[in-house]
Structure 1
Amino acid sequence: MPPRRVDWTEGVWLNRPVRAEPTPDGGLTVQPGAGSDFWRHTSYGFVHDDGSALLAPLPVGRAVEVDFRLDFTEQFDQAGILVRVDERTWTKAGVEFSDGQPQVGAVVTRELSDWSVAAVPTWAGRLVSVRVSRAGDALTVRARVEGEPWQLVRLAPLAEGVAASAGPFCCSPTRDGLAVRFTAWRQGPADRELHPES
């Protein structure tokens, strides 16, 4: 069964953005607050839980996908998918502009945050898709740019018995005025395998 498109009105805002405006083609432009982020302690010593995320339930056996235009160019601008249990248990996955170029990666937080990234300079200005699949006790994170295959970004633990929600998020830790153009939000069945043949 292919993923179904999720209407933006089906989500509930965690930290309502400065603005969220529908686009004529069915997308949603979101401007997060200045200085917003999701992070807990590690290395930097601070706690941020004020990024903007539009969330809907993500039960075991389901997956969520988000598409957005990679138009941002300032340090730590970011967008993708947030999977949230509570303020101490969450995963964010997507693209973050860091050290002068876009980086695909994930932050997994279980009281403390970790961060892994890989540079994707050829993704700049293009349509990016991020997919998080919840199966068993794991989240499988994949990403791709339009016209290219999915690539594995991260495998992270998430207990089967906990309730979680997920959806598009964006943050702007170092500035004001970021506007992320999300073009689609989808939900569907979880991936059956970690390493699919195609």
Structure 2
Amino acid sequence: MKTGFGGGAWLNEPSRWSIDGDQLTVTTENETDFWRETYYGFVHDNGHAYLLPADDGFTAMLRVRANYTANFDQAGMMLHLDDRHWLKCGVELTDGDRFLSVVVTNGRSDWSVCQPFRELGDYRLRMTVKDGSVLIHASRDGANWSMLRVAAFAAAPSYRVGPMTCSPSRAGLEVVFSDFSIGPASTEPLHAEV
């Protein structure tokens, strides 16, 4: 099990960021985002992601704290293979409300949103990657988890994973990431027995 942010590298390093113990604080640059083509027609690849290496067959966990105030403010976790194969998940402010959001990009991006709980200023993400699939959960407390997405993703022997944040309509979203870990893929069943 790897914990903390040691050994990471930036994809689009912001001018303001710091690591203090197990806490990474990031302030976004102006008009940053990750998106590829679908519906909107544009390609944006200038969001901020602090990524660490991980071999296939892992579960990554992360705590995220932010105050989302501008449309499309977002923060969470990214899985990255290359500029055409990546996934971002977390909270995004859209149309005046906060949603848990997942964007899967396999050549082109898609976008799904849900609200299994409403208190989204401080939450946790869990991402399990193995054999060309990604399973994403979110939690308010780190004990009770809601499934956000099961997605197909490009199979590879290794990936990069870590915190991600963007602010497409402004600069200055401050995000505090903590409790980051990468360990063996979770063996918990996808569905609880009834």
State the TM-score, normalizing by the size of structure 2. 0.91
Among residues 76, 91, 94, which one is paired with 2:87 in the alignment?
Answer: 91
CA apart distance, 1:120: 5.6
1:154/1:147 CA distance change after superposition, 3 Å: closer
Give me the whole-angstrom Cα distance separating, in 1, the residues matched to 2:19 and 2:52. Answer: 18
Give me the whole-angstrom Cα distance separating, in 1, the residues matched to 2:48 and 2:116. Answer: 24
Letter in 2 for 1:108: V
Matches within 5 A, 1:105-116: 105-116=101-112
More deviation, 148-157/85-94: 148-157
Matches within 5 A, 1:39-58: 39-58=35-54
Letter in 1 for 2:186: D
Is the contact between residue 124 and residue 142 of structure 2 (CA under 8 Å) also seen in structure 1? no
- Residue 137 of structure 1 corresponds to 132
1:67/1:147 CA distance change after superposition, 3 Å: closer
Unaligned runs of 5+ in 2: none
Sequence identity of aligned pairs in percent?
38
Is the contact between residue 101 and residue 120 of structure 1 (CA under 8 Å) also seen in structure 2? no
Is the contact between residue 77 and residue 172 of structure 1 (CA under 8 Å) also seen in structure 2? yes
Query: What is the RMSD computed on CA atoms of the aligned residues?
Result: 2.0
- Residue 6 of structure 2 corresponds to 9
CA apart distance, 1:87: 0.5
Is the contact between residue 63 and residue 187 of structure 1 (CA under 8 Å) also seen in structure 2? yes
CA apart distance, 1:64: 0.8
CA apart distance, 1:119: 3.2
- Residue 69 of structure 2 corresponds to 73
1:161/1:8 CA distance change after superposition, 3 Å: closer
Letter in 2 for 1:17: P
Give me the whole-angstrom Cα distance separating, in 2, the residues matched to 1:74 and 1:120. Answer: 22
- Residue 18 of structure 1 corresponds to 15
Letter in 1 for 2:51: L
Give me the whole-angstrom Cα distance separating, in 1, the residues matched to 2:32 and 2:138. Answer: 23
State the TM-score, normalizing by the size of structure 1. 0.89
Count of residues in Structure 1 that have an aligned counterpart in Structure 2? 193
Is the contact between residue 73 and residue 101 of structure 1 (CA under 8 Å) also seen in structure 2? no
Unaligned runs of 5+ in 1: none
Among residues 118, 121, 125, which one is paired with 1:122 in the alignment?
Answer: 118
- Residue 166 of structure 2 corresponds to 171
Letter in 2 for 1:13: W
CA apart distance, 1:158: 2.2
Encode CA deviations 1:15-71: one digit per residue, 9 max, x unaligned: 101211234x63121012110000001111110111111111222211111111142
* Runs of 4+ that moved beyond 4 A: none
Among residues 171, 191, 194, which one is paired with 1:195 in the alignment?
Answer: 191
